[in-house]
Amino acid sequence: MDKAVILSTGDELITGRVVDTNSSFIADKLIALGLDVVAILKVGDDKERLLWALQHGVEIGELVIGTGGLGPTVDDLTTKTVAEFLGQELELHTDVAEALKRRFESRGRPWTQNNLKQARFPEGAWLIPNPQGTAPGFRIRTRGQKWLIWLSGVPIEMMEMMHQSVLPWIKQERKVDAEISACTFKIYGLTESKLDEILKPIDLPEGVRLSFRAHYPDLSLRLTVKGGKESIEIFQGLRNRIQELIQPYIYGDGDETLEEIVGELLRKKGWTVALAESCTGGTISHRITSVPGCSEYFKTAAVVYSNEAKIDLLGVKKSMLEQYGPVSREIALQMAQGIKRQSGASLGLGVTGIAGPTGGSPELPVGTVWIGMAQPQGDETRCFHFQGDRGRVIQGASQAALHWLRTALL
């Protein structure tokens, strides 16, 4: 089992109303296990198109992992179509049906007969539990002795099914854990093209892969080396060489997020942080508070979009706003000092800028962001310039703020 194909279904994916995050997540996990993801196929809720995708998937891959279409509604065609593709009948799993009924009853939701669709699976399929939802997935052999796995299309459900059932099964099935060495570098301050240019001097022998993943505002680089125990020395040498070349830009490794790293640093130092956000609208606070245990180090946050809010909630001086304007070094610093003073936090962060698409000027173009930090070792300000639409400016500013927090804590 070396080659994998990912298959996503749903009209919402084809029309662009929903971004397919499932495929990127699954691909990342499979590549980490040393599989070669040879294709990602997307089709709408159409039987003939799904049959086409299944046929192509098993032709070019030994493992096909699909998502979506396991629900009870008329457009959920997956299970029945897979059974037809395999030349098998659907069988009712009474234990799944009873569990579904109990789940509906416990939540006070009405039970309808179409929910039994979620308890019917192709003959001979192994069921994959869904701890987060109602619809189990399944795993089954094809006539060509390939493997076909199908999971819920709901991202949180799919991720849990992957972590708890699919990935452990793949590791056991392949039995090559010792033959794969891998690491991931989390990077800030480089573009994908610049990173590629820096790494050009590295000669990659056979069995070695460098994978770039740019998911703004994040950038990661994954090193994977195949070849068993004899490849460990190669892996360690390449890892050290990469670190030498890009060490100033590496902020973490693995699946760690920047907000998790900042949280751990705050916890170790015994410090707390408070935020005053204008143009970012609470994005930085949301990222920090998405980490479990953040109550140990997160004090409070104020979203102060208007000048009046900056004055009333943070004590920013009206005369300073009139003299320097809300997007300035002076106001960013007063915001940071104000939230630190009001909350009693160890660190205060103030963010003000022009997210766009309007509001810019030749002197202060859209994408200009000032960040102020009030800290025990002295107060500072920094100015950043971000490109792109409003969302990218906000995301870029949140990443810059968190990265500065990391370096200040170090």
What CATH number does the domain containing 108 carry?
3.40.980.10
pLDDT for residue 144: 86
pLDDT in tens, 112-129: 777 888 899 999 999 999
Which CATH number do you get for residue 192? 3.30.70.2860
Q: Where are the beta strands (DSSP E) in 267-379?
A: 273-277, 298-303, 347-353, 368-374
CB atoms near residue 361 (< 10 Å): 11
Residues of the domain holding 336? 258-409
pLDDT for residue 75: 67
pLDDT in tens, 329-345: 999 999 999 999 999 99
| pLDDT, averaged across the chain | 92
Please check whether residues 189 and 238 belong to one and the same domain.
Answer: yes
Output b/e per residue, 146-180; b: 16+ Cβ within 10 A: bbbbbbbbbeebbbbbbeebbbeebeeebeeeebb
Please check whether residues 44 and 192 belong to one and the same domain.
Answer: no
Please check whether residues 213 and 265 belong to one and the same domain.
Answer: no
Which CATH number do you get for residue 279? 3.90.950.20
**Contact between 219 and 190 (Cβ < 8 Å):** yes
Please check whether residues 103 and 225 belong to one and the same domain.
Answer: no
List the Cα angle 375/380/383 in 5-degree steps.
Answer: 135
DSSP classification of residue 215: E
| Dist CA 211 CA 24 (whole Å) | 13
Please check whether residues 227 and 158 belong to one and the same domain.
Answer: no
Whether a cis peptide bond, with omega within 30° of 0, leads into 357 is yes
pLDDT tier for residue 40 given thresholds of 50, 70 and 90 = very high
Please check whether residues 157 and 189 belong to one and the same domain.
Answer: no
Paired strand residues for 218: 215
Please check whether residues 224 and 307 belong to one and the same domain.
Answer: no
| Dist CA 142 CA 136 (whole Å) | 19
Last residue of a domain, one of 237, 253, 269: 253
Please check whether residues 82 and 224 belong to one and the same domain.
Answer: no
Q: Mean pLDDT check: name the lowest of 10-24, 39-53, 217-231, 391-405.
A: 217-231
Whether a cis peptide bond, with omega within 30° of 0, leads into 217 is yes
pLDDT in tens, 60-107: 999 999 999 888 877 678 999 999 999 999 999 999 998 888 888 888
Please check whether residues 165 and 27 belong to one and the same domain.
Answer: yes
Last residue of a domain, one of 253, 277, 298: 253
Please check whether residues 220 and 291 belong to one and the same domain.
Answer: no
Give the pLDDT mean for 360-368: 95
pLDDT of 176 above 70: no
pLDDT tier for residue 216 given thresholds of 50, 70 and 90 = confident
Please check whether residues 32 and 108 belong to one and the same domain.
Answer: yes
| Dist CA 277 CA 283 (whole Å) | 8
Please check whether residues 10 and 109 belong to one and the same domain.
Answer: yes
| Dist CA 288 CA 285 (whole Å) | 5
Last residue of a domain, one of 201, 235, 253: 253
**Contact between 327 and 353 (Cβ < 8 Å):** yes
**Contact between 281 and 305 (Cβ < 8 Å):** yes
The count of structural domains within the chain is 3
